[in-house]
Structures are given as C-alpha cells and as structure tokens.
Amino acid sequence: MEYRIEHDSMGEVRVPADKYWGAQTQRSHENFPIGVGLETMPREITRAFGILKKAAAMANHTLRPEKMTDEKLAAISQACDEVISGELNDHFPLVVWQTGSGTQSNMNANEVIANRGNEIAGKKLLHPNDDINMSQSSNDTFPTAMHIAGVAAIEDRVIPAIDELVETFLRLERENEGIVKSGRTHLQDATPIAFSQEISGWRSSLQKDKKLLEAALPELKKLALGGTAVGTGLNAPKGFDTAVAEAVSRLTGKKFETEENKFHALTSKDELVFAHGALKALAADLMKIANDVRWLASGPRDGLGEIFIPENEPGSSIMPGKVNPTQCEALTMVAVQVMGNDAAVGFAASQGNFQLNVFMPVIIYNFLQSARLLSEAMHSFNIHCAVGIQANREKMRHNLHNSLMLVTALNPYIGYENAAKTAKKAYKENISLKQACVELGFLTEEKFDEVFHPEQMI
C-alpha cells in the first residue's frame, strides 16, 4: 500500500494514499481498533455531516464572505454532495467506539471534504479546521448530526413502514367483517369479539405509536449548531445558528430550527431519549401483535389454529413438513433489541457532565439501529406475513361455541352466581351451557334459546 504524509498539531502521520482522510482520522483509526468493520459510525451520521458541513459553508458565505469565498463554497458544496450521496463512504472508516464527543468523526468529515474539495479546485484551497469547520466545534456538530439523522430515520423510514402495515390491517378489517370469534384474557377464554375488532386493536396501536413519534419530532428538529465548544457560540458570527438551521432546512426539505439554549443542546440528550422512548413503545406494540399472530396461527392441529399465515420456508431440520411463524419471531427479536437499546440510550444520556455529554456515538448508534431494525422488520413482516393472514372461519366458530365464557350473556337473566354455577357444571360434566342451565333449573330450553346469541355479544 502506498502512503502519503499528513500532519496535525501533534506531528506527521502516514495516511493511505488513496484515501481523502487526514492525520486526525488516521490517529483515531489506529487508536481505536474496537469493532472495526462491524460497528463503523452509522452512514446516516456520515450523510448528516455532509448536510451540516454544506449548510455551515452556506451560512458562512453569507456572514463571512471574505473568509468563505465563492470558490471555496463551490468546492465544499460539491464535496459535501458526494458525502451526502454516499460516494465517499469508503473514506469514513471510524468506529462508534471512539471519543465520546464524536470529535474524530467530525474531523473525518472536515478532512475528507477539504481534501476532496482541494482535488475539485485543483489546488490547495481548503483547510479542514479553518474552512470546513469554520464557526463550528465537534461539540455542536456531532449533536446536530445526531438530530438530522434521527429525524430522517423516523420520517423517512419508520413512519412509512408503520403506514404500510396499517394499510394492510385496514384491508384485513374490511375483509373479515362479520366473523365472530372467542375473545381471550389472561390466556383464558373470554367473551366474543369480532375478528375485525381484534385486528383494529393492532391497527390502532400502530397509529398511536405514529402519533408518539410525530410528537417527538419538533424537539428533534432543534439544532445545537452555533453553540461551538461549550454553548457560548465562541468564534461563530452573530446569526450563524439561525442561518445554518435555515440552510439545513433547505437542503433536507425538513423544517429545522436553532436550539434556543445551546448549553442545554450540548450536554442534554433528552430529545433523543424521548424519541427513542416512542420507538420502544412501537417495539412493545409490535411484540404484542407478532405474538398474537403466532398464537392465533399455532398448530396446525394442536394449537389455536384460528388464522392461516403464509408458509415461507421449512421449519425444522428433523421434522418433515414443519413450518414455523418465522416472521413473527424475527419481529419479536427486533423488539427485544430495541428495548435493550433503550436502556443504553437512557444510561448514556444521563452522563452529561458540565458542558458536554461524551456518550454521543453510542446513543446515536443504538437509536439508528432501532429505527432501521423496526422499519425493516415491519416491512418484512408485512410483505411476508401480514398481507397473507386469513381467518380459519370453521375453527373460529367451533372455539366460539365451545367457550364457557358465553355464559356471561346469561348474567342479566339468572345473575352472576347462577351463571358461574352453570359454567362450572358444564365444564365439570363436559356438557353444553344450555344443558347445564336447564338441568340447574335456571332457564327453560325455550328461554335459553331466546336470550343466548353469541354472535350478538360483540
């Protein structure tokens, strides 16, 4: 491998000749051999840095035209566009497990954009710190990148996946109107419910989760940029914070604004904790939905067997013909991972000391993993399972009329205690509710038939 010599304030460093990064990136690459190739800084953060560095150059061009010239802005903008598109991903090698402020990832962006910008300009035009990092600090750029990436993950990935699954459930509600089945509470038989009503519970849960995520977005759309090192805005021109937020908004098509209190923005990560809490709520509901589906599909002969789900692959290496609810299992594993991530995000956010939180890379790594896994798992569950859910009408009807909890319909006519006696006698003697009720003398056969209509109990 060929190398070139780069330098920083600590001296000279050998850097691979075919890479745009510089000395500080190389030092971090060598000093943190932790999770290399497996836990690289999320590409959503790389993209967010491209956005914020271009936005910063645009704001500096307006506020400091003598320093951020037209020529510099043009070179920076083109290099940033390549970062945003992912063309330069190979030039961002750093892992999550680095300095807790994300300083080296900020410098990685500065060095790559400067070196690529100089190549575009055909001369030594840009300096990583003086030009690309103008009016900024790692301490305000990394939290800004976190918010940009977090908003994009929720709006562009998670919410569309929710909408997709909601549409499937709405269709299933319409298709299954009029089908009545046994309800279940405490895993025991309960009073009847329409299958469409059961599905509506799944659908409504997802719609509520979407509202919770949307409630988190306004605070996530407030940016720390302009606070620089400790929140005072040192070395940033007046108005830079609002100008750069407006530029980020133009570049993303999303309405961002500057955080009013930069001292809060640098040290507190409560917006990400709150938003991840909404992701955890979504995970909890998806766990419930997936478990409902696999229980209802259990069998095919010795389980509940009230619904059919798509059969996607063989389920056993030893039991021929076995098929398992694998999409449900994948979705529930994702839910477990998100719940674990929520603990990590919360613990990390509690570690803001004085003017900075230095657990930021692990916060955004877990946050973005949760958003990615949830969106991909919902999409997979939808196309490989939910769209193919079909009611087993015969089994639903059998279970409905076999349920002892239909006795609840008799409460207004024979009272709770007599209804309980009826149910217990029917269960103990393995006879119908009608036979038990008549034998106990609580109702005549004619009266029982008049008041007992399971399909009307919903």
Instruction: Please tell me whether residues 210 and 339 are part of one structural domain.
Output: yes
CB distance 104 to 25 below 8 Å: yes
Q: Both ends of the chain: CA-CA distance in Å?
A: 73
**Distances, alpha carbon 189 to alpha carbons 143, 184, 307, 418, 448, in Å:** 51, 5, 17, 19, 21
What is the model's pLDDT at position 320? 95
How many structural domains are present in the chain?
Answer: 3
Whether residue 227 lies inside any domain: the answer is no
Report the pLDDT value the prediction gives residue 143, as an integer from 0 to 100: 98
In a domain, 240, yes or no: no
Q: What is the CATH number of the domain that holds 354?
A: 1.20.200.10
Structural domain that includes position 285: 148-221+264-394
Q: Are residues 198 and 346 in the same domain?
A: yes
Same domain assignment for residues 423 and 364: no
Nearest C-alpha neighbor of 21 from the set 83, 101, 110:
110
Residues 6+ positions from 388 with CB-CB distance below 8 Å: 308, 309, 310
Predicted local distance difference test score (pLDDT) of residue 414: 97
Q: Which helix (H) or strand (E) covers residue 420, if one does? A: helix 416-429
pTM tops 0.85, yes or no: yes
- Is 76 in a helix, a strand, or coil? helix
Distances (CA, A) of 370 to 103, 203, 274, 431: 24, 21, 14, 51
Strands (DSSP E) along 313-416, which ranges? 352-353, 356-357, 390-391
In this structure, the answer to whether residues 412 and 452 fall within a common structural domain is: yes
| Residues 270, 412 within the same domain | no
Query: Is there a single domain that holds both residue 388 and residue 411?
Result: no
One-character DSSP codes across 217-228: HHHHTEE-TT-T
Q: What is the C-alpha separation between 75 and 91, in angstroms, rounded?
A: 17
Instruction: Return d(Cα 372, Cα 158) in angstroms, integer.
Output: 7
**Which pLDDT tens digits describe the chain residue by residue (458 residues)?**
899 999 999 999 999 999 999 999 999 999 999 999 999 999 999 999 999 999 999 999 999 999 999 999 999 999 999 999 999 999 999 999 999 999 999 999 999 999 999 999 999 999 999 999 999 999 999 999 999 999 999 999 999 999 999 999 999 999 999 999 999 999 999 999 999 999 999 999 999 999 999 999 999 999 999 999 999 999 999 999 999 999 999 999 999 999 999 999 999 999 999 999 999 999 999 999 999 999 999 999 999 999 999 999 999 999 999 999 999 999 999 999 999 999 999 999 999 999 999 999 999 999 999 999 999 999 999 999 999 999 999 999 999 999 999 999 999 999 999 999 999 999 999 999 999 999 999 999 999 999 999 999 99
CA angle 352, 357, 358 (to 5 degrees): 125
CATH at residue 35? 1.10.275.10
The residue count of the chain comes to: 458
Same domain, 200 and 331: yes
Query: What pLDDT sits at residue 1?
Result: 87
Report the sign of the C-alpha dihedral through residues 217, 338, 43, 133, in that order.
positive
Q: Is residue 58 part of a domain?
A: yes
CA distances in angstroms from 351 to 34, 221, 245, 284, 359, listed in the order given: 21, 22, 27, 26, 7
Residue 291 token pair:
């478990």
Joined tokens for residue 152 = 């994009």
Report how many helices (DSSP H) and strands (DSSP E) the chain contains, helices first. Answer: 17, 10
**Residue 420, domain CATH:** 1.10.40.30
Q: Which of 109, 134, 159 is the last residue of a domain?
A: 134
Active centre residues (catalytic): 186, 316
Residues 358 and 408 in one domain: no
- R_g over Cα of the chain: 30
User: Does residue 70 share a domain with residue 23?
Assistant: yes
- The reply to whether 181 and 329 lie within a common domain is yes
